[in-house]
Structure 1
Amino acid sequence: MTDAFPDPQDAPRLAETYAEVEDALLSRWPETKLEPSLDRIEAFTELLGEPQRSFRSVHLTGTNGKTSTSRMIETLLRALDLRTGRFTSPHLERMSERISVDGEPLDDEAFVRAFNDVARYTHLVDSEQEHPLSFFETIVGMAYAAFADAPVDVAVVEVGMGGSWDATNVIDADVAVVLPIAVDHAKYLGEDPATIAVEKAGIIKPGSVAVLAEQTPEVAAVLLARAAEVGATVAREGMEFGVVSRTPAVGGQVVSLQGLRARYDDVFLPLYGAHQAQNAAVALAAVEAFGTGELDDDLVRAAFAEVTSPGRLEIIRRSPTIVLDAAHNPHGAEAVAAALDDSFSFSPLIGVMGVMEDKDADGVLAAFEPYFEHVVCTQNSTPRSMSAAALGRAAAEVFGEDRVSVVPDLADAIDRAATLAEVGEAIDVSIGAGAVLVTGSVVTVGEARGLLKGRR
């Protein structure tokens, strides 16, 4: 640890506006540039006074479902009158969504304050480490400092990528949640689920409770070996807890959940799909494992009824219906496709898809092909986005050229899809039952959400 404070002439200028914070953070290493080490974040949090030691925590990893499950866990904990912090990534529309206290993202003033609280230490780490602090490492430090300052009773923390060397992993969580593991970020994490599981298992710490969603046998073996190695208690979906039953309902579904301590029946969950019922069972087990004991039936029902998860099968507009879902890998797309089949009867369903260059576009397209009458290929505003033309070529291989349109501008792509859904143009179906699903990337969905909220 460095004792000397920075020379005022060398110290970073404190931010006065949200835009200045955003600019300062985006000037750092992007989330996509990774160097597997906790050295920088450990040096950073040490300078900050180890804020992550001042609260208890629930840590989540897995390929899909982390944000929805985090929001469910947070809602249950708040129902127990605990003050919560929540860290999730990436954001949909605004960077400040990543850091929430008491269930609400930091407002602009609080976000600026959180940045300024840590800003004078960032360049100390930059100067002493081989590589500078990244965007992600900096915002993790901001979150942990903001949670300590609040102060929160418990933080619900979603990893950015992986587990062992993810910057969030300077916490030693009471409960480590591992959601289903499939292949994503293969360049950094590995080409098969068992290899990826080794990295994600790193959030399971000595003395913690590992709450494990249902996994393939190969992945389960890796996670159980890690739990045994560090002496963690294990709770497994399908054995110690799980979904007993689920019935699609207007606005979501009604589920019965077996928790670690009790069974909770007739719970309304205002989210769609079997994957969200599974997330609810995991969230319930995580909260029970946190040490709250058996939960009151009415409290559980009331909490789950309040859960929201923006950008996850979110109906953002009617006439025609436009649904947003941030599925960006084949595993996520398959879950969304099953939920569409399960909970909706759209005809035609028109896809609007924009994916990142480094994602398995072919796998995502294949998952949606049986459900989309037509797909409009577009792109989001980031340099990482696959071009609409390249996605269109890939889509033509899966859908056939007659079922593919290429519209690079996202707003125009949504309008084109809405026309196809509403009028059935070039598609022999009845008018009025059509819908649009915007998907393929969190960024694409976030940009679409910003465009469409004003049109409702």
Structure 2
Amino acid sequence: MNESVDLEKQAITAQPPVPSLDRMRELARRLGDPQRRFPVIHLTGTNGKTSTARITASLLGAAGLRVGLYTSPHLERVNERLVLDGQPADDEAFARCVGAAVDAATPMAERPTFFELLTAAAFGWFAERAVDVAVVEVGLLGRWDATNIADGRVAVVTSVGADHLDYAGSLDGVAREKAGIVKPGSRLVLGDVAARFDQVFARTPAADVVRLGAQFAFDNGRPDPAGAGRRGDPRTPLAHYDDVLLALHGTYQQTNAACALTAVEAFVGHRLPADVVEAGLATVRAPGRLEIVGTDPPRVLDGAHNPAAAAALARSLAEEFPGQRWNVVYGALRGHDFEATLAELDPDRIAAVLCCEPASPRAIPAQELVAAAGRLGLRPALALADVTTAVRHALEQAAPATAILVTGSFYHLTEARRVLTSTR
């Protein structure tokens, strides 16, 4: 995780004082504007955008297309952010494309941020490999995000929630910033977006807008009897599909799958064959999203870093693990409402909250988390020295009726996974 800390420090210190895409556009021009050499499906959302991007890429791959996928953050290696046909960039390709971006940036008067360099590298790699389509996830909000120099043929907004208010100012501001990725003539897919924001998205230059519930959904969602994920009957504006397996856990993944399937059909312009839908949904993976890494007792990783994500996590745990009590390993970063996030946990189902500090310069001190947990009645709450110590303590206290949940920031999931999987 030291690599992630160093890169984040670099990104923080390089933040521009005024939102602008000028630096990113200049960097892309110096590389030959690679983002113009392939079509793009562009995704943003307070929650769900990474999973939806992964599902979208899986469906496109199952349809026989050559697919680039750009997501963030990574969990173990930065290469994970650049994916081609389901495989992360190898070290040689990653170094070459990042090196080209760095070389292009050298003469620039204003130094690009780490995220801008990485985005340029991704676009360069996708152009080099002649992808049929790139699935591109926004890093922050949308309008001023480095990825927004690409013109998405399809734009997806998975959700609008109370996160990054330090940038957007209000929920309406969040919606406006996310609407900023919609380009003239594109198709817009709206997921779990409240009706109060309809006018925001109605003012976008999209040629067509489809909404969750009205035009598409994942009907009759339920846990798969064999424990392989979820089953249900997805419907889109173009088709209905019966009894399809989605190889992801969590009720919220049903919405993500419905958004992804609708976006893919909007992109290709026709319904997908049933076998393509079945293959795409049955093979998708979403690390760190209700990821079950062990049993007896269950060991679950989920990067629920804001109140809406924590509420969705709580609903999913109640359905898929009824009656289970949890030792919760929790860490959070500045900029997120950690107390409201913790408030979504059910005190009756929490055996202990083990607070630690993720490997990030924005980590909230564990004692602050303990104090917040105490105010919410989540007891006992303990401050542990680091993620490894917290996870090992959770394991020592685990019992058949007490499972382990690691949640909060994505920045401590990697180390937690290593400890949990090495002690199975």
- Taking structure 2 as the reference length, what is the TM-score of the superposition? 0.94
Question: Residue 322 of structure 2 corresponds to which residue in structure 1?
Answer: 345
Asked if the contact 2:222–2:231 (Cα under 8 Å) also holds between the matched residues in 1, the reply is: yes
Q: Hey, what's the Cα distance between the residues in 2 that align with 1:206 and 1:385?
A: 39
CA apart distance, 1:214: 3.2
Question: Residue 254 of structure 1 corresponds to which residue in structure 2?
Answer: 231
Asked if the contact 1:348–1:421 (Cα under 8 Å) also holds between the matched residues in 2, the reply is: no
> Which letter maps to 1:51?
P
CA displacement 1:77-112 (0-9 Å, x = unmatched): 011111011000111111111111111111112211
Asked if the contact 2:14–2:112 (Cα under 8 Å) also holds between the matched residues in 1, the reply is: no
Report the aligned-residue RMSD: 1.9
Q: Hey, what's the Cα distance between the residues in 1 that align with 2:311 and 2:198?
A: 21
Q: Hey, what's the Cα distance between the residues in 1 that align with 2:287 and 2:20?
A: 32
Question: Residue 360 of structure 2 corresponds to which residue in structure 1?
Answer: 382
Question: Residue 21 of structure 2 corresponds to which residue in structure 1?
Answer: 38
Question: Residue 425 of structure 1 corresponds to which residue in structure 2?
Answer: none
CA apart distance, 1:374: 1.7
Range with bigger deviation, 243-252 or 208-217: 243-252
1:179-190 to structure 2, matched below 5 A, reads 179-190=158-169
Question: Residue 95 of structure 2 corresponds to which residue in structure 1?
Answer: 112
Question: Residue 422 of structure 2 corresponds to which residue in structure 1?
Answer: 454
Alignment partner for residue 153 of structure 2, among 160, 164, 174? Answer: 174
Asked if the contact 1:71–1:308 (Cα under 8 Å) also holds between the matched residues in 2, the reply is: yes
Asked if the contact 1:204–1:232 (Cα under 8 Å) also holds between the matched residues in 2, the reply is: no
CA 1:341 to 1:32, structure 2 compared with 1: closer, same or farther past 3 Å? Answer: farther
1:2-21 to structure 2, matched below 5 A, reads none
Runs of at least 4 residues of structure 1 off by over 6 A? 21-24
CA 1:244 to 1:22, structure 2 compared with 1: closer, same or farther past 3 Å? Answer: closer
CA 1:146 to 1:22, structure 2 compared with 1: closer, same or farther past 3 Å? Answer: farther
Asked if the contact 1:92–1:447 (Cα under 8 Å) also holds between the matched residues in 2, the reply is: no
Q: Hey, what's the Cα distance between the residues in 2 that align with 1:360 and 1:367?
A: 12
Alignment partner for residue 70 of structure 1, among 50, 53, 56? Answer: 53
> Which letter maps to 1:304?
L
CA apart distance, 1:373: 2.5
Asked if 1:48 is matched to 2:27, the reply is no
Question: Residue 429 of structure 1 corresponds to which residue in structure 2?
Answer: none
Range with bigger deviation, 301-310 or 344-353: 344-353
Q: Hey, what's the Cα distance between the residues in 1 that align with 2:96 and 2:7?
A: 14
CA 1:247 to 1:32, structure 2 compared with 1: closer, same or farther past 3 Å? Answer: farther
CA apart distance, 1:62: 0.8
CA 1:238 to 1:149, structure 2 compared with 1: closer, same or farther past 3 Å? Answer: same
Q: Hey, what's the Cα distance between the residues in 2 that align with 1:54 and 1:455?
A: 47
CA 1:332 to 1:381, structure 2 compared with 1: closer, same or farther past 3 Å? Answer: same
Q: Hey, what's the Cα distance between the residues in 1 that align with 2:100 and 2:422?
A: 34
Alignment partner for residue 232 of structure 1, among 199, 207, 210? Answer: 207
Question: Residue 194 of structure 1 corresponds to which residue in structure 2?
Answer: 172
CA apart distance, 1:447: 2.7
Asked if the contact 2:188–2:206 (Cα under 8 Å) also holds between the matched residues in 1, the reply is: no
Q: Percent identity?
A: 41
Q: Hey, what's the Cα distance between the residues in 2 that align with 1:299 and 1:410?
A: 40
Greater Cα radius of gyration, structure 1 or 2: 1
CA displacement 1:318-344 (0-9 Å, x = unmatched): 333210001100010000110001111
> Which letter maps to 2:131?
V
Asked if the contact 1:29–1:133 (Cα under 8 Å) also holds between the matched residues in 2, the reply is: no
Asked if 1:156 is matched to 2:147, the reply is no
CA apart distance, 1:453: 3.7
1:281-430 to structure 2, matched below 5 A, reads 281-345=258-322, 347-370=324-347, 371-399=349-377, 402-422=379-399
CA apart distance, 1:147: 0.5
CA apart distance, 1:24: 9.0
Structure 1 unaligned segments of length 5 or more: list them.
1-18, 423-431
Q: What secondary structure, in the 3-state scheme, does the structure 1 residue paired with 2:106 have?
A: helix
Q: Hey, what's the Cα distance between the residues in 2 that align with 1:160 and 1:75?
A: 20
Q: Hey, what's the Cα distance between the residues in 2 that align with 1:225 and 1:32?
A: 33
Equivalent pairs, count = 419
> Which letter maps to 2:142?
G
